[in-house]
Structure 1
């Protein structure tokens, strides 16, 4: 049995990823990662250069904390780099330096192009709140607060667990469930009473391993089968497709 929100009865809280679920920033992240990794690989490999692909993004980077994404992709190419420190400059040949280079490119793209929300997602979150469910934003991005503020969406969420909070609390990122579990805890809701909304495969893994009451996959790029394989209970193209709140 589902409610008018398309959720099982007994769900008391909704935990939303940011990029690709609430905002149209997943494509901006993907472009910044590609520019970063392609420049690094081209300089390192010369004529043997193999570009960073959409499949690389989906498999190794999407949904993960920045440094984890760097490590995972480099490992897939059998590349080892020093870890470095969080204040490494963007041109440093370290895990942290590459991550900082990507973040600088991301912020530049956001400043020049702005950020858009998915209107169906905003309407859905507003409908959730109107029925008395608690809401949280759960993102690996350290820029979450700024992005939400830029689109006047801070008001939609009772709790924010992002890259900044995860670092402060030493929470491992997705595909581990710890950030979602922290959001449920801060909302005062047991995981089995919370629904997770994610577009990334790592987020699906987090929802499944955290034993949340319902896991909603949002397919913006044609990966419905993969979202189901990684733990989605239902997959939609847009949150507007859930329930009859439109």
Structure 2
């Protein structure tokens, strides 16, 4: 069950660190669709006998991670080893960087065409967090974090942002390593023990636990409550608004 109190958090928490895709915004479905199309097209060219990219593949190897790490992880699961390549590779090149770039192109196209849909309960919770005087950060592997936050209409509720651009600039390791969450806590001037991590990805929950954060909230959007608990979540909810009322 969530901790007692109006926000479902321990009294020691002063800072809230939110993952973006799947926690505050519904862009996780956009990312899954982009990854699926990218990998399925690649597998058709590279090894047509391979099974298509699945939701389970997304949950295990891609969700919450930097794009290139996701490419490496999924390909390794299929026994495929590609050269790293570089930013200038054509989109159909058989390199890690080309596949990562192709996926990002698809996500940007989807965002431009359809915008960003938020989880209303999560935004209400985010506003309650700010009203309670707690500081907030978005911590996301996406290099498009600023664009998604602005399009979602809640930029005024976010104090700092640690996204893929910041991670690359500061050489921060991606989830399941805790580096990006630790950076968010550091930017807001608190020790990890005074911060809570909100994550829908198994790798993100693992990062929260590895960083010794004061509380880790798992958000189950795809039916993986047990896996989130096993990864180290203190509590699992299906929507952040549950932390304010009905107990999970």
* TM-score (normalizing by structure 2): 0.96
Take 2:128 and 2:91, find their aligned partners in 1: how far apart are those partners?
42
CA drift of 1:87 comes to 3.6
Cross-structure match for 2:92: 91
Alignment partners' CA distance in 2, 1:240 and 1:94: 42
Aligned to 1:16: 18
User: Which residue pairs with 1:141 in the alignment?
Assistant: 142
Residue aligning to 2:180:
179
Task: Please point out which of 29, 32, 36 is paired with 1:30.
Answer: 32
| Cα deviations by residue, 1:155-179 (Å, 9 ceiling, x for unpaired) | 1111100000000000001000000
What residue is the counterpart of 1:204 in the other structure? Answer: 205
TM-score (normalised: structure 1): 0.97
Cα drift, residue 49 of structure 1: 2.9
Q: What pairs up with 1:33-44 in 2 under 5 angstroms? A: 33-44=35-46
Q: Deviations over 1:1-24 (max 9, x none)?
A: 522100011100000000000000
Give the gaps of 5 or more residues in structure 2: none
Aligned counterparts of 1:228 and 1:188: Cα–Cα separation in 2: 28
Distance 2:214 2:62 in 1: 26
> Which 5+ residue runs of structure 1 have no aligned equivalent?
none
SS of alignment partner, residue 108 of structure 2: helix
| 1:89–1:100 Cα contact (<8 Å) kept | no
| Residues paired across the two proteins, number | 244
Task: Give the Cα separation in 2 of the matches to 1:117 and 1:17.
Answer: 13
Residue 151 of structure 1 deviates from its aligned partner by 1.9
Moved over 4 A (4+): none
C-alpha displacement at 1:154, in angstroms? 1.3
Displacement, 1:133? 0.5
Q: 1-side partners of 2:91 and 2:210: how far apart?
A: 34
Q: RMSD of the alignment, in Å?
A: 1.1
